[in-house]
Homo-oligomer: A and B are copies of this chain.
């Protein structure tokens, strides 16, 4: 939609001429999941099932990994998305904002099979951003005086009360995007964007599940939401 000037005349074929070389980020779901060890801390994108990397989650459910610490807004639905990992008791701890929609999470929690840490949705998304942005934490007015803030540092700044929130980081981030180019630049579809762009910045290894991989240059520099420097690996949805 926006025109943009690419100096192809100046940098002719050198950089992207070698077909295949720049596809090295593309791996299978199985290869992706093999990197993940039991006990890992994993961020998983999505608001419910929308914008969740369902193929990567399915591969994780097929694997033997357990004792996972999951950072995700929700834990799927019973038997769907992250709900499968809950049902299979692969999750040791979950950090998120809203788990009530999956009754099996409530049950697992009550059976003491799983720990839960609850954050307001805005605090959670900001903490992930802070993790990726190298900040040591921030003060938010949200949750002051509530149960959520009971063990948190409170501070008055310019006459208003705030609570301190530490950044969130993880060993892995599994995110879902609409398109990746071969370098790993990402764009998202509609409300499936949600937590994915922040999570893509906040983990040691970031794996993006995408509907489609396009040639470099097919996504305008103005449109890119997640620049490729954040993406380590790409998998195709539904597939190897």
Chain A residues in the interface with B (C-beta under 8 A):
1-2, 4, 126, 130, 133-141, 155, 157-158, 160, 162, 166, 187-190, 219-223
Contact call B130/A138, Cβ cutoff below 8 A: yes
A166 to B157, alpha carbons, bound, how many Å? 9
| Partner of A139 from B135, B141, B190 at Cβ < 8 Å | B135
Given contacts A157-B166, A222-B223, A223-B222, contact A2 B136 (CB under 8 A): no
Q: What residues of B have a CB within 8 angstroms of the CB of A137 in the complex? A: 138-139, 157, 162
11 contacts between A and B (CB under 8 A): A1-B219, A1-B220, A2-B187, A4-B190, A135-B139, A136-B141, A137-B138, A137-B139, A138-B138, A187-B222, A223-B223
Q: What residues of B have a CB within 8 angstroms of the CB of A1 in the complex? A: 1-2, 219-220, 223
Interface centre among A160, A188, A189, A222 (most CB of B within 10 A): A222
A208 to B4, alpha carbons, bound, how many Å? 22
Given contacts A187-B222, A188-B222, 15 further A-B contacts (CB under 8 A): A1-B1, A1-B220, A4-B190, A126-B133, A126-B135, A135-B139, A136-B140, A136-B162, A137-B138, A137-B139, A138-B138, A158-B166, A190-B221, A190-B222, A222-B223
| Partner of A160 from B136, B138, B190, B223 at Cβ < 8 Å | B136
A71 to B34, alpha carbons, bound, how many Å? 49
Q: What residues of B have a CB within 8 angstroms of the CB of A135 in the complex? A: 126, 138-140, 162
